[in-house]
Amino acid sequence: MSGEMEETRTAEEQQEMEDKVISPEKAEEAKLKARYPNLGAKPGGSDLLRKRLQKGQKYFDSGDYNMAKAKMKNKQLPSAPTEKTEITGGHIPTPQDLPQRKTSIVASKLAG
């Protein structure tokens, strides 16, 4: 890192640059916060964990169903922050949607 221009930088800029050099993580965090200003302050906390615990949950209740229906009407492009913070309600249940998953009768290709 060149030190030729040091005298022209303010102390603040110096600190920022040092931060970036010391912690690429903090630089990445700044990037993320710039893209998603609505991101919650507690990243590893309840929201993420609860999303993990609810993995596989398709439908919640009729209230969820109606909210999802309303959201689908207004839906444009999915925006990343919503995906990251919402826990349920993104999927409208219909009888056709109900999983009719059958066992894979095909043998594993590893055994081929």
Enumerate binding residues for another protein (CB under 8 A).
Answer: 22-29, 31-33, 35, 39, 43-46, 48-50, 52-53, 55-60, 80, 98-99, 101-104, 106-112
Phi, psi of 48 (to 5 degrees): -60, -40
Q: Which bin fits 55, alpha (ψ -120 to 50), beta or left (φ > 0)?
A: beta
Q: Which of 53, 39, 44, 35 is nearest to 84 (CA)?
A: 39
Least separation in angstroms between residue 7's CB and another protein is: 26
Least separation in angstroms between residue 76's CB and another protein is: 19
Which of 9, 35 has the CB closer to another protein?
35
Which of 23, 66 has the CB closer to another protein?
23
Which of 74, 95 has the CB closer to another protein?
95
Which of 77, 110 has the CB closer to another protein?
110
